[in-house]
Amino acid sequence: MELKFTEEQEMFRESVREFCQRKITPVALEMEKTREISIEIKKGMAELGLLGCTASPEYGGSGLDAVSAGVIGEELARADPTGSIPVFYLVQAAWGFVLNKYGTEEAKEEVFPKVIAGEYFLGIATTESDAGSDVGGTRTMIKKEGDGYIVNGEKMYISGVREAAEGGGGHLTIAKQNPELGTRGMTMFYLPLTADGITPTYIDDLGREGISCGGFAIDNVRIPKYYIIGEENKGFYIVHEGYEFARGLIAVICAAAGLKSLENGMNYIKERKCFGTAIGKFEEINFRLAEHYTRLNMLRDLAYKSLWTIDREQQGKGSRFETSKAIAMAKMFASDWACNAINDVMQWQGAFGYSKECPDQAAWRAIRSFALAEGSKEMMKMIVARELLGKEFIAYK
Partner 1 sequence: MRFIVCVKEVPESIDVKIDLKTNKLQEEGISTTLNPFDQFILEEALKLKKDEDEIIAISVGTPQTKMVLMKCLALGADKAILLSDNVFMGSDSFATAYTLSKVINKIGDFNIIFCGQQTVDGNTAQVGPELAAQLKIPQVTYVESVDKFEGQKLVVKSQTDEGFKIVESQIPVLLAGIPPSSFTPSLPPLRNIIAAQNKPCIIWNFEDLGGPKDKYGSAGSLIQIIKVYYPPPRKKGIVIVEEPTTAVEKLIELLNKDKVI
47 contributes a contact to partner 1 by CB under 8 A: yes
Q: How many CA atoms lie within 13 A of 41 on its CB side?
A: 24
25 contributes a contact to partner 1 by CB under 8 A: no
Choose between 47 and 378: whose C-beta lies nearer to partner 1: 47
375 DSSP assignment = S
7 contributes a contact to partner 1 by CB under 8 A: yes
Choose between 16 and 165: whose C-beta lies nearer to partner 1: 16
Using DSSP bridges, classify how beta strands 121-125 and 141-145 pair: parallel, antiparallel or unpaired.
Answer: unpaired
Write the interaction track for partner 1 spanning residues 57-76; mark x where CB under 8 A is met and - where it is not: x----xxx------------
254 contributes a contact to partner 1 by CB under 8 A: no
CA pair distance 274, 281, nearest whole angstrom: 10
By CB under 8 A, name the one of 50, 98, 107, 164 that touches partner 1: 50
263 contributes a contact to partner 1 by CB under 8 A: no
- Which of 17-25, 264-272, 314-322, 336-344 is the region at the interface with partner 1 (rule: CB under 8 A)? 17-25
Choose between 20 and 198: whose C-beta lies nearer to partner 1: 20
Choose between 23 and 292: whose C-beta lies nearer to partner 1: 23
Closest CA to 265 of 199, 197, 352, 335: 352
Choose between 41 and 135: whose C-beta lies nearer to partner 1: 41
Write the interaction track for partner 1 spanning residues 100-139; mark x where CB under 8 A is met and - where it is not: ----------------------------------------
38 contributes a contact to partner 1 by CB under 8 A: no
Closest CA to 15 of 63, 59, 61, 68: 68
Q: Give the helix/strand (H/E) hosting 238.
A: helix 235-271
CB 253 within 8 Å of CB 73: yes
CB 239 within 8 Å of CB 193: no
CB 50 within 8 Å of CB 228: no
Check the CA dihedral 216-108-12-304 and report its sign.
positive
Choose between 63 and 200: whose C-beta lies nearer to partner 1: 63
Using DSSP bridges, classify how beta strands 228-229 and 186-192 pair: parallel, antiparallel or unpaired.
Answer: antiparallel
49 contributes a contact to partner 1 by CB under 8 A: yes
CB 186 within 8 Å of CB 236: yes
Q: How many CA atoms lie within 13 A of 360 on its CB side?
A: 28
Q: How many CA atoms lie within 13 A of 315 on its CB side?
A: 9
CB 15 → partner 1: shortest distance, Å?
5
- Which of 16-24, 151-159, 201-209, 372-380 is the region at the interface with partner 1 (rule: CB under 8 A)? 16-24
CB 35 → partner 1: shortest distance, Å?
27
By CB under 8 A, name the one of 27, 48, 384, 385 that touches partner 1: 48
Residues that bind partner 1 (CB under 8 A): 7-8, 10-12, 14-15, 18-19, 22, 47-50, 53, 57, 62-64
